Amino acid sequence: MAKTHNFSAGPSILPQEVFQEASQAVLDFNAAGLSLLEMSHRSKEFVAVMDEAQALVKEILKLGEDYEVMFLQGGASLGFLISAYNMQGANKKGAYISTGAWASKALKEGKWVGDAVEVASSKPENYNHIPKSYEVGADFDFLHYTSNNTIFGTQYHAVPQSNVPLVCDMSSDIFCREVDASKFDLIYAGAQKNMGPAGATLYIAKKSLLGNSSANIPTMLNLKTHADKESMFNTPPVFAVYVSMLVLRWIKKVGLKQIGATNQAKADLLYNEIDRNGMFKGTAAKEDRSLMNACFVLNDGLDESLTQSFLDMCKEANISGLKGHRDVGGFRASMYNALPLESVQALVDVMKSFESKFA
C-alpha cells in the first residue's frame, strides 16, 4: 500500500514505532498474558506506566517538584471549565485572550465560574493574528490563552508577559518546541495532537494552587482530587495514557530542540511555497503563522471549483486531511511532530503541479 501523507488536524499522526509497540500491548502487555485493555489500572504494570508518563513530562519540560502532572479524561473542552474553577482566587475574575474558536469557548466556560473578561481579541479580523496590545490588571486572578489555534492557523511564538498567574491551553502545540514551562501556573492539553490518541488530557499544575481556589468545585473537577490520588481517583484512560507514554519516550529520544528545528523546517518549506505560488495565499499574519496548522486558500479571483480540483490532486498523491475546517473552508495542512519533512515536500510538489496545470 502506498504511503499516506497524513495532514489531519486531529486525531493526528503519531510515530510509527509507537503504533508497533502499542499494537503488541493490545495483544499481550509485557508478557503478562493479558491485553493492556483488560488489565487493572491499579496493577503494578499500569501504575508503572502512569508513573513513567508523569516523570517524562517533567523531564522533557524541565519541571521541578513544585509541579503536579496528571493524566485525566474529558478533553481540553472540559479543561476550559476545570482551569477556571481551579484558578479562581479572591477576586473571582479571570482574563482571557480570544484568538480563535477554542479560546472563545474557554472564555464562555469561564463565565460559568466567575467574571471571565475578554481583555483582547482578534475576532474582528477573523482571528488572523495574535493580539499584541492589551492590559491585565493586578485585580485578575489569572490570564488564560490558547497557544496555537488549529482552525485559523495562528500561534504564539513567545510566552505572553503577565503579572498574574498564567494558564495555557496547549492542546495543539505542546511538545512541538522548547518552552519555559516554569512560567505557567497551569497547562492543560488534549493528547490527540502531539502526544497520543484521543481520550487523555494532560494537566500540569503548580502544587501551590491545588486546593486554594475560592470556588466551590465539584469533586471531579477539582485538580487536587486527582493530584492526591495520582491520577487514579477514577479509572484513567489506560490505553491513551500508555500510548502517550510511548510518544513521550520518542520525544525524549529525539529531543525537543531537534523536534522544534524539524517543525520549523517543515513550516518554512510549506509557507515559502504558499507565498511563491500564485494559486494560493495564506490567511494568517506572517509573524503569527502556526508551525502546526498552516491555513491557506485559493488566491483572489480564482474559480472556487478549483478547490475540489486541488483536493483531488492531493488525493491522487496519497495526501490526506487537507480540507480546511468546515467553518472557514480552504485548506489546512497540520504538521504535527510525527509528520516527516518528506510529506510536506509531497504537498509542495502537488501545489507546484496544480499551478502548472491551472495557472
DSSP string, 270-298: HHHHHHH-TTEEE-S-GGGB-SSEEEEEE
Closest CA to 176 of 104, 97, 233, 257: 257
Per-residue pLDDT tens digits for 322-346 = 999 988 899 999 999 999 999 999 9
Q: Residue 64: what residue type? A: G
Please report where in the chains the cell 508518563 appears, as a residue.
Answer: 53
Cβ pair 177, 251 in contact under 8 A: no
Q: How far apart are CA 49 and CA 245, in angstroms?
A: 7
Cβ contacts of 301 within 8 Å, gap of 6 or more: none
Residues facing residue 71 across a β-bridge: 202
Q: Residue 147: what residue type? A: S
For β-strands 166-169 and 186-190, DSSP reports them as parallel
What mean pLDDT is predicted for residues 38-55? 96
The answer, yes or no, to whether residue 3 has pLDDT greater than 90, is no
Just list the catalytic residues. 102, 169, 193
Mean pLDDT estimate for the chain: 97
3-state secondary structure of 117: strand
For β-strands 93-98 and 142-146, DSSP reports them as parallel
DSSP state of 149: E
Alpha carbon 344 to its chain's center: 20
**The model's pTM:** 0.97
Q: At what angle do helices 75-87 and 101-110 cross, to 10 degrees?
A: 40
Query: What number of CA atoms fall less than 13 Å from residue 166's CA on the CB side?
Result: 15
Question: In order of start, what are the domains of the chain with their CATH numbers?
Answer: 16-254 (3.40.640.10), 256-358 (3.90.1150.10)
Q: How far apart are CA 323 and CA 326, in angstroms?
A: 8
Cβ pair 174, 35 in contact under 8 A: no
Q: How far apart are CA 23 and CA 7, in angstroms?
A: 22
pLDDT for res 1: 55
The answer, yes or no, to whether residue 311 has pLDDT greater than 60, is yes
Other Cβ atoms closer than 10 A to 52: 17
Per-residue pLDDT tens digits for 50-109 = 999 999 999 999 999 999 999 999 999 999 999 999 999 999 999 999 999 999 999 999
At residue 135 the predicted structure's pLDDT band, cuts being 50, 70 and 90, is very high
Helix (H) or strand (E) holding 71: strand 67-72
- Percent of the chain past pLDDT 90, that is, above it, reads 97
For β-strands 154-155 and 280-282, DSSP reports them as unpaired
Closest CA to 330 of 75, 30, 9: 9
pLDDT for res 184: 98
Q: How far apart are CA 149 and CA 134, in angstroms?
A: 19
3-state secondary structure of 222: coil
Which DSSP string do the residues of 306-331 spell out, in sequence order?
HHHHHHHHHHHTTEES-BPPTTT-SE
* Grid cell locating 91: 477576586
Cβ contacts of 31 within 8 Å, gap of 6 or more: none
For β-strands 93-98 and 115-121, DSSP reports them as parallel
